[in-house]
Structure 1
């Protein structure tokens, strides 16, 4: 299942994007990323499964776009590290036909169309005959809109359709034709309502943003890889430290992974996806973060699905830990103000880290979207994920924390509290609900992962047992006494029945026990 989140659509109709600003620097090029604040009363559905199967009336969400030129025509494309294909809505002059069709299926909706080739200009790089999907414009995908997938090439539907390098993803094509360019991508996302930092972001290919050079000294996080037969599900994902999520009280939230092959059950697998507005997290994590906030309530909203509603004046803090490095989350990102009300008509903010539902998958536990990524400068090294190159290094991810907790607190005071620092409220008592791992969950997930092997071995043993019984029966028939007259040893009826063996475990859980649905896209 693809992971990208489609968070634009009608927003593009509202206003035009700012022109992209190109800036060449030594060793690579970068492109300004423009954020789009969706207007009140306009709906958008998310690519990838973020807010459930329904749309959200949004007045403050941000989608991140870059301008690209395809066949000499400019398109505004959502940058998406959760997918791998390029598509645009509208005709591209002088595009070459391939005679093939392809598409991408999202949690809500899908796009499809003919695969064409045209010259692409992205971050200053020109790629000849870049493959893309041409989508017929409609109310959902207006003329001039598009999406550029920046994920691993293994997940590209176009590449699979064409079956050759000509169908490779954009970044793969750039790295293949510019062998001196370092094989990495970096992204910095801005925050719209941040009173101290600028809003727009940047995306670079083979270049480090000025002032963020320390990214290269951060720990290199290994990209966890899915099984070969599931290569289409490969994403930019890595492990969060064991007990590496700190709640609003600063204490670790104990959780266990659903990824069976993870050696440490307490390390969650996280996917980094610039296409998701709201991070998707296990229900227990969301409960532990928001459940202790006075006045917070979990609600199944018709406009967003299951989500925590929190009083907007309550500052909620949380921290993620990767390889010992703490990534504090800005309180303006832990709860978002979309100018919505609860059933009683009271204004509420929504818990941005939403319980995961339809986006759940056995290959990861968490999808860290925009609300997380606004707190880091992220570098993704493609390593040997670049198709057809001689690079043998493993891909990795580096994160540089960009949120200062002290400054973030003051930002919250200025934006949500009108400048008056009133934090006299206290967290509610800790509850075991949602923060305690299910008993024997590690044992259960291992059983589920190895179930095909277990079933095969069990079947073989049953077959051996049947054959052995037949052999014994045949040997008895060769005795002087007919087998039906052989002496038997019977237990008297009045004797008590033998004690049965206690079962060590219940029935094997279904996959639905581990898959919860939520928002939109891919």
Structure 2
């Protein structure tokens, strides 16, 4: 992330996020890095519960436990606690709305790591899209948030045995996030690590092929736990869903529907990264929107006028992902 811009991908919209602190509201003079416990051998595993299509894990701030979105597509930490506090004001604009926060600091405990005086935001108002959220914990590579304040990642990752975050997200049930190690119990073979490209903060991987019969291309894709779908250029979505004879484009070609009775005709989706092919099961490329009417809707979607790619949660259902903060690489293997 740059000092003034944060990009996040969230929920079903999963659009780029811009977080802009108000001018000169966040001073850099206050020391904000006070680590209560710095143990290089620290490891921890956290269970994240699925709610409204996202995965929420615990965080303790000043003795109070919150359930926040664990999001590898953003850098900022903010919560809702119903209080009004003095302090500098900032706002975050997401694709689905805006969150206004007061920037403060406190004792933050996540995954065995405790940071004193960790900067975070307290939400003062928000778009209804976030009514069910307690907050968000950003887990991308950025060392700053709200412009110039240190992110949780900057303070906490050096405490772990390895600066690694492992992500295991099954298609049903809770997810597990491991800090300080990757979990071989969920890896179907050794991890293949590739450099995170294009952005100094996001976890972009270079996809050299989408393995489609038409419109194939090469581009970077962000591996984002905070995105509920797979988002690709419309040409890629068209080439994929065109393989299903009963699929119909809606919303200007961004989304597709088809009779669930024809779900057996939906193929697997796959991408090639670092010379290896990673597959998304056909059943994870769509969802049953209205079972009584037998309508299925795409989770692999196009985005008009946006030439970007996000490999969201359906990619994780089939693949184990490890984020190496120390080496700025991403490790991939089939998930088991």
1:236 aligns with: 203
1:7 to partner: Cα distance: 5.9
| CA offset digits 1:159-210 (Å, max 9, x no partner) | x2xx3xxx2111221124x2x6211111111212xxxxxx211001112225
2:220 aligns with: 269
Runs of 4+ off more than 6 Å: none
Aligned residues: 300
Matched, 1:200 2:148: no
2:116 aligns with: 128
The secondary structure found in structure 1 opposite 2:95 is coil
2:330 to 397, 402, 405: 397
Matched, 1:78 2:69: yes
| CA offset digits 1:244-270 (Å, max 9, x no partner) | 2224xxx5x4433xxxxxxxxxx2111
1:133 to partner: Cα distance: 0.7
1:214 to partner: Cα distance: 6.4
1:145 aligns with: 134
Separation in structure 1 between the aligned mates of residue 335 and residue 133 of structure 2, nearest angstrom: 33
- Kept in 2, the 8 Å contact 1:224–1:237? The answer is yes
Matched, 1:373 2:316: yes
Separation in structure 2 between the aligned mates of residue 81 and residue 190 of structure 1, nearest angstrom: 17
1:141 to partner: Cα distance: 3.8
Separation in structure 1 between the aligned mates of residue 230 and residue 107 of structure 2, nearest angstrom: 34
- Kept in 2, the 8 Å contact 1:218–1:398? The answer is yes
Matched, 1:309 2:257: yes
Matched, 1:221 2:202: no
Change (3 A) 1:91 1:129: farther
The secondary structure found in structure 1 opposite 2:237 is helix
| CA offset digits 1:228-251 (Å, max 9, x no partner) | xxx6xx41101012xx2224xxx5
Matched, 1:170 2:152: yes
1:34 to partner: Cα distance: 0.8
Separation in structure 1 between the aligned mates of residue 286 and residue 132 of structure 2, nearest angstrom: 33
2:290 aligns with: 339
- Kept in 1, the 8 Å contact 2:165–2:178? The answer is yes
- Kept in 2, the 8 Å contact 1:73–1:92? The answer is no
Separation in structure 1 between the aligned mates of residue 324 and residue 275 of structure 2, nearest angstrom: 20
Matched, 1:68 2:83: no
- Kept in 2, the 8 Å contact 1:280–1:356? The answer is yes
The secondary structure found in structure 1 opposite 2:260 is coil
Structure with the higher strand share, 1 or 2:
2
* TM-score (normalizing by structure 2): 0.80
Q: Greater CA radius of gyration, 1 or 2?
A: 1
* TM-score (normalizing by structure 1): 0.53
- Kept in 1, the 8 Å contact 2:187–2:335? The answer is no
User: Which shows bigger deviation, 279-288 or 139-148?
Assistant: 139-148
Gap regions ≥5 residues in structure 1:
9-25, 39-61, 193-198, 257-266, 384-393, 404-522
1:396 to partner: Cα distance: 0.5
Change (3 A) 1:66 1:245: same
RMSD value, Cα: 2.7
